[in-house]
């Protein structure tokens, strides 16, 4: 999701259907205010969250939204789907945001249809790119329940990484902690296609449950039941990773 940055003069021209000469005059007359300050530079860059006012008329007033959801099993991580209920459908039913605001959201790191847990949604493209950028190496924590017993062999194999011939890549090291015979917690910094299921598949050990517990420093709020969500606090937005 690209962030919508543009020059101020282009934005004003489009909003008011005027030419660049008119915009320069408006700026000279101090009729345009951006984020509380009188604008003077036609080349000033603004984004979708810049507050822009012309002659006391608000031209743009969008707010960034950051949402945590406890995604339930059976709901698809998508904005639209013809067969399944989506996380946007859940959000609209909760009425945390208006329908228009819901339509502007995108998902930060998807979860499979049959996976559950922490899912993040936002309308801030720069924030989501920061969280998903491979260079940032932000850790995701999962709890996995499998059909067969997990042995110590898994710990070393996951830590060494596994070669996936289809993509021609070797996964980055994954930390696996055995919780019980059939349950483990995994920490990984990437999210290849069905990566966790495929890694356990090397041991012919089917994954029965996959639940995301954390992204970076952000833990799934234990007060959120499956299907519930809430806004992130400013500190959570800033210090997630």
Which CATH number belongs to the domain containing residue 148 in this structure?
A: 3.30.2350.10
Q: What residues make up the domain containing 42?
A: 6-60
What pLDDT shows up at residue 78? Answer: 84
Q: Are 197 and 186 in contact (CB under 8 A)?
A: no
Q: Name the token pair of 166.
A: 């289809």
Residues known to be catalytic: 112
* pLDDT tens digit sequence for 136-190: 889 999 999 999 999 999 999 999 999 998 888 899 999 999 999 999 999 999 8
* Selection from 94, 98, 35 nearest residue 69 by Cα: 94
Residue 1 lies in a domain: no
* pLDDT tens digit sequence for 21-60: 999 999 999 999 999 999 999 999 998 888 899 999 999 8
Q: Name the token pair of 50.
A: 């810049």
Distances (CA, A) of 46 to 7, 34, 180: 6, 8, 52
CA–CA gap between residue 197 and residue 149 (Å, rounded): 15
The count of structural domains within the chain is 2
Regarding whether 143 and 76 lie in a shared domain, the answer is yes
Asked whether residue 4 carries a pLDDT value surpassing 80, the answer given is no
Which CATH number belongs to the domain containing residue 25 in this structure?
A: 3.10.290.10
Residue 152 lies in a domain: yes
Residue 32 lies in a domain: yes
- Indicate the angle between helix axes 8-16 and 20-28, nearest 10 degrees: 110
Average pLDDT over residues 206-228: 96
Regarding whether 92 and 46 lie in a shared domain, the answer is no
CA–CA gap between residue 187 and residue 176 (Å, rounded): 7
What pLDDT shows up at residue 132? Answer: 87
What pLDDT shows up at residue 222? Answer: 96
CA–CA gap between residue 111 and residue 108 (Å, rounded): 10
CA–CA gap between residue 184 and residue 207 (Å, rounded): 11
* pLDDT tens digit sequence for 70-93: 999 999 998 888 888 999 988 887
Regarding whether 90 and 24 lie in a shared domain, the answer is no
- pTM value is 0.82
Regarding whether 201 and 108 lie in a shared domain, the answer is yes
Residues shown for the chain: 241
Q: Are 202 and 164 in contact (CB under 8 A)?
A: no
Helix (H) or strand (E) holding 6: strand 6-7
Residue 234 lies in a domain: yes
């Amino acid at each position: 999701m690209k962030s919508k940055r543009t020059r101020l003069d282009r934005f004003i021209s489009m909003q008011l259907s005027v030419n660049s000469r008119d915009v320069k005059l408006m700026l000279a007359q101090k009729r345009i205010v951006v984020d509380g300050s009188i604008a003077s530079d036609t080349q000033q860059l603004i984004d979708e969250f810049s507050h822009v006012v012309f002659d006391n008329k608000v031209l743009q007033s969008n707010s960034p939204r950051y949402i945590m959801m406890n995604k339930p099993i059976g709901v698809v991580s998508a904005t639209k789907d013809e067969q399944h209920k989506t996380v946007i459908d859940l959000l609209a039913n909760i009425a945390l945001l208006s329908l228009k605001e819901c339509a502007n959201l995108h998902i930060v790191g998807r979860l499979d249809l049959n996976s559950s847990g922490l899912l993040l949604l936002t309308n801030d493209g720069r924030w989501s790119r920061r969280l998903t950028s491979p260079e940032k190496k932000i850790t995701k924590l999962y709890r996995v329940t499998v059909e067969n017993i997990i042995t110590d062999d898994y710990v070393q194999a996951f830590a060494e990484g596994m070669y996936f011939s289809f993509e021609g890549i070797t996964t980055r090291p994954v930390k696996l902690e055995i919780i019980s015979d059939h349950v483990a917690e995994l920490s990984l910094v990437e999210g290849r296609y069905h990566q966790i299921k495929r890694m356990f598949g090397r041991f012919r050990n089917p994954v029965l449950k996959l639940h995301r517990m954390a992204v970076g420093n952000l833990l799934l709020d234990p007060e959120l039941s499956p299907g519930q969500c809430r806004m992130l606090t400013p500190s959570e937005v800033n210090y997630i990773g």
